[in-house]
Amino acid sequence: MALHAAAPPCAAGRGLPSSSSAPPAGGRRSLSSAARPRGVAFAAPLRTRAVRAKAVVSNDGAPGMSDTPHVVCFGELLIDFVPTVSGVSLAEAPAFKKAPGGAPANVAVGIARLGGSSAFIGKVGDDEFGYMLADILKQNNVNTQGLLFDAHAKTALAFVTLRSDGEREFMFYRNPSADMLLEEKELELDLIRKAKIFHHGSISLITEPCKTAHIAAAKAARDAGVLVSYDPNLRLPLWASAQDARDGILSIWETADVIKISEEEVSFLTNGEDPYDDAVVKKLIHSNLKLLLVTEGPDGCRYYSKEFSGRVGGQKVTPVDTTGAGDAFVAGILSQLATDFSLLQDEGRLREALKFANVCGALTGTERGAIPALPTRQQVLDSLTSVVA
């Protein structure tokens, strides 16, 4: 379910002060590391001349993030609202906690929390939530060179809960939200071409102009020899129909080198076949795929390559909110692949990397919200040590 946002005021937008008092030509303003004063207004720029966020600099003057991040994540950045109590439907929730989210953004922050270098490419609204999200990316040392603000659309909102029957429930407020309006000409293609891994999902394939921008970004990565990672992150309420979702997700399937899906997504993409049957899963392996990962929540994951396949058990925790657990898993494996692609040919080391990724996902499920719950590398290592002990 989605609601159409009211049209924004046409005369003014909100921005950040730059080093000079006047805005630069074209209506752009740079994000600074200083706190943004309230009440600063400027003429709302056209969407094609959106505000660009620049990399933050830490207090000691040293770069707070990498200028050439290893992993570039493309897609949506939004606000998740999660119930303050567990096991209720959205209608039954007494209150909600605001939390930053959006699957590709979760992965970018997750990688940075684990000590890796990452960047995010996408668009948020020129509104309070958009600036809050940009600040959170910067605070987590995610490169925001490719983050844009749209003066005519709001930052996307999502309400999400895990009901007592185990079913996840979503309600999205977009149509259009700013993330849907990213255009091809706004892409930071050099950021993509210099990366080691380009990670994306399927939500930005749903509508134009973001669909065209998404396809162009992925092509730039492939043409530059960048490893392409894909997590479809199925969200049926956002698609016109189940068949549209299936077709859209599979439309770029064979362009990915590494794919992560859940057991529910295996069943969806194979029209209801058994997701625990290896023969069914192997139908999803295309000729150029280097690694297919199937996550199974608390039970861990399965892995499939041309050379080997197997299962790595998960870590048992008491879940509070599983939002972002799959993204934490992706961050866990990509953070290791970014430093050593040879993991893809060494089953023993790959299994260790997947054990690490499983713990990333498990720890994320123990707190509310996605980004707030993403673990640090030390937290993961401590948890692995306790399991071994």
Render pLDDT for 306-351 as a digit per residue (tens, 0 to 9): 999 999 999 888 887 788 899 999 999 999 999 999 999 999 999 9
Under 8 Å between Cβ of 302 and 269:
no
Percent of the chain with pLDDT over 90: 69
Under 8 Å between Cβ of 295 and 362:
no
Count CB-CB contacts under 10 A for residue 192: 24
Is 3 a member of any domain?
no
Residue 311: give the domain boundaries. Answer: 102-119+183-384
Residue whose C-alpha is closest to residue 54's, from 34, 74, 77: 34
Render pLDDT for 34-85 as a digit per residue (tens, 0 to 9): 333 333 322 223 333 333 333 333 333 333 466 778 999 999 999 999 898 8
- Beta strand pairing status for 71-74 and 118-125? parallel
Residue whose C-alpha is closest to residue 89's, from 1, 161, 170, 166: 161
In 184-296, alpha helices (H): 189-193, 210-223, 242-251, 263-269, 278-282
Q: 356: domain CATH number?
A: 3.40.1190.20
Residue type, 19: S
Is 76 a member of any domain?
no
Q: Indicate the pTM of the whole model.
A: 0.82
Is 288 a member of any domain?
yes
Q: Residue 59: left if φ>0, alpha if ψ -120 to 50, beta else—which one? A: alpha
Is 36 a member of any domain?
no
Number of domains the chain is built from: 1
Is 127 a member of any domain?
no
Is 259 a member of any domain?
yes
Give the C-alpha distances (Å, rounded to integers) separating 360 from 74, 119, 157, 304, 334: 21, 19, 25, 20, 12
Mean pLDDT of 174-181: 94
pLDDT category of residue 370 using cuts at 50, 70 and 90: confident
Q: What gap in Å lies between CA 45 and CA 55, rounded to an integer?
A: 21
Place of tokens 């608390």: 298
- Top pLDDT among 13 and 157 is at 157
Render pLDDT for 212-256 as a digit per residue (tens, 0 to 9): 999 999 999 999 999 999 999 999 999 999 999 999 999 999 999
Render pLDDT for 22-32 as a digit per residue (tens, 0 to 9): 333 333 333 43
Under 8 Å between Cβ of 290 and 255:
no
Write down the pLDDT at residue 149.
Answer: 98
Is 235 a member of any domain?
yes
Is 293 a member of any domain?
yes
Q: What gap in Å lies between CA 46 and CA 213, rounded to an integer?
A: 18
Give the C-alpha distances (Å, rounded to integers) separating 85 from 88, 96, 166, 378: 7, 8, 14, 28
Residue type, 141: N
